[in-house]
Chain A
């Protein structure tokens, strides 16, 4: 017992006496552990963020946009079949049973003048139901109604960003804005929605009745997309299929003919985006893994370089009567202590880095406890192995051979 205490004391002494060596050994572990945790945290953080923002799109969302759904044959590219009309939307609205809300989406853009300022943004023509589909609300004023849509009224609801750019110190409700020289009356301001998963400012937008945008601004016949909301999450796939069948009817497609549109529901979008962010997390993880291995090689290198010096030390200890087990316990303790300290510092540093990233950058990080444990064990394992292995070899030598080691 006294023996063990003595040897533990020797280990600690040895660590303190060889500060540089100890520091360099731990450094490899610190960097390895920290890099892996932070990288994976960034990857998983952005995944989580993206998924949350997709959920923010609105519950049970179904989106239809033109273009071939299946690749193969000659692709004419998405958007080349600009074939939905208001009638299609109306048909869906009348006949679909699994759809709760539906809204066309007519996209336009351009220069907005109002409040003595001007601003360039996107104008989306939608129906009043769009607000429910997107789970959005109005912060002040009100949203337009079906009557506004029927009458092609020139009314607009501003996104928060647009409102602040055009009317920094006043309530825009009741004011007039000119969108590409057409005067619109501002009747409301949307609640703030923040950034989308792709970093787009969702509040930099103007919503207006779909008919107004289609007929008065764009002067066209075709709408760009259809937004809809299924009645429940369980029936989302059925709702999508129902819409598909109705749209094929509306488009007069023969059986066997490819869809001329793409239809996606929220689950699919989430799936696609999660897939993408999973790939990113894996990529970051791989980079981190490489840094862990580099860290490991660093530890190994220092351990091996110090073997000559340490083998002489082992020779001295053996020659004054240390048993090989004494020497092994000492070296093992040293390696474990250094790996532990390095690992803990690495974890703390990673937590600190993540906190800094969260508060000072756009990135969002999410620390994965499994990865913390994994990287800690790996780096620790490398440290212990390479501390232990040369010592094991040296302590099995005759004292005189250890002393003569070069």
Chain B
């Protein structure tokens, strides 16, 4: 099967005054459509930098990035924005929800900028997305009226409301306890089962084992790229946790 994501010698160099930091030094990564990828690696190894490039939030210094076969570097600003809008759902570690704005409106945000008209009823889609992350009853809460885990789930609902082909999540469970983390992972596993490519960044092995494939980074390069042998199922683990509590 064709790759949805294909990078060739992707590099990113940050310049801060005189100093330049080579955050990525030639990344060659290929991700198929049905994959669930976990990116691991020590702090500063370039995981977030790579995710931002994959999410079209930032531009590479050199190298090529093909998304669905399109060379992203050749796109103009508007096409670039439209890719973010239609193909990619990005979940930030720090949520990045609009303050003083209800969960529902936050989730609806990508649809405001959808020019394709493929989603007929934005309000309904947003409600469905919220229900999908288990927040059907929190539609009118503002971000400051939600717990960290709930805010993260609103961010996930926002990422999937536009029915993207790819969901990119940068440490989505970084701020969450074990149970909530597994909860979030079950959402990702469901999405992946429906054919959406999921890439997430994590520091924890326990989280990574819910993915299908683990890519380990070090100093801006890919160190290891291995399939997950004993993959865990988030739904089952949740049921188990529930049973233990009783």
Chain A residues proximal to chain B, CB less than 8 Å: 2-3, 6-7, 10, 13, 17-18, 309, 312-313, 315-326, 398-401, 403
Q: How far, in Å, is B140 (CB) from chain A's closest CB?
A: 14
Instruction: Tell me the complex Cα distance, A17–B90, Å.
Output: 25
Instruction: Tell me the complex Cα distance, A22–B246, Å.
Output: 52
Instruction: Tell me the complex Cα distance, A18–B98, Å.
Output: 12
In the complex the two chains form, is A17's CB within 8 Å of B101's CB? yes
Q: Using a CB-CB cutoff of 8 Å, which residues 98-127 of chain B contact chain A?
A: 98-101, 105, 109-110, 112-115, 117
B-chain residues with CB within 8 Å of residue A403 when the two chains form the complex: 57, 92, 96
Asked if B190 is an interface residue, CB under 8 A from chain A, the answer is no
Instruction: Tell me the complex Cα distance, A398–B110, Å.
Output: 17
| Besides the known contacts A317-B113, A321-B83, A321-B110, 9 further A-B residue pairs in the complex with CB atoms under 8 A apart | A6-B112, A6-B113, A316-B97, A319-B96, A320-B162, A321-B84, A322-B85, A322-B113, A326-B113
Partner among B98, B99, B162 whose Cβ is within 8 Å of the Cβ of A321:
B162
In the complex the two chains form, is A400's CB within 8 Å of B52's CB? yes
> What number of B residues sit within 8 Å (CB to CB) of A?
31
Instruction: Tell me the complex Cα distance, A7–B112, Å.
Output: 7
Asked if B59 is an interface residue, CB under 8 A from chain A, the answer is yes
Q: How far, in Å, is A308 (CB) from chain B's closest CB?
A: 12
A interface, by DSSP: helix, strand, loop or mixed?
Answer: helix
B-chain residues with CB within 8 Å of residue A321 when the two chains form the complex: 81-86, 110, 113-114, 162
Instruction: Tell me the complex Cα distance, A18–B81, Å.
Output: 26
Which B-chain residue is minimally distant from A401 (CB atoms)?
B58
Instruction: Tell me the complex Cα distance, A400–B54, Å.
Output: 12
Instruction: Tell me the complex Cα distance, A398–B77, Å.
Output: 10
With contact pairs A6-B112, A320-B110 given, residues A313 and B98 touching in the complex (Cβ less than 8 Å): yes
**Residue among B57, B58, B81, B92 facing the most chain A CB atoms (10 A cut-off):** B81
28 A–B contact pairs at CB < 8 A?
A2-B117, A7-B112, A13-B105, A18-B100, A309-B99, A312-B96, A315-B96, A318-B81, A319-B84, A319-B90, A320-B84, A320-B109, A320-B110, A320-B162, A321-B81, A321-B83, A321-B84, A321-B85, A321-B86, A321-B162, A322-B85, A323-B77, A324-B77, A324-B81, A326-B113, A400-B52, A400-B57, A400-B58
Q: How far, in Å, is B141 (CB) from chain A's closest CB?
A: 15
Q: Using a CB-CB cutoff of 8 Å, which residues 110-155 of chain B contact chain A?
A: 110, 112-115, 117
Instruction: Tell me the complex Cα distance, A403–B114, Å.
Output: 21
Instruction: Tell me the complex Cα distance, A7–B113, Å.
Output: 8
Instruction: Tell me the complex Cα distance, A3–B77, Å.
Output: 17
Q: Using a CB-CB cutoff of 8 Å, which residues 56-100 of chain B contact chain A?
A: 57-59, 77-78, 81-86, 90, 92, 96-100
**Residue among A6, A312, A313, A316 facing the most chain B CB atoms (10 A cut-off):** A316
Asked if B163 is an interface residue, CB under 8 A from chain A, the answer is no
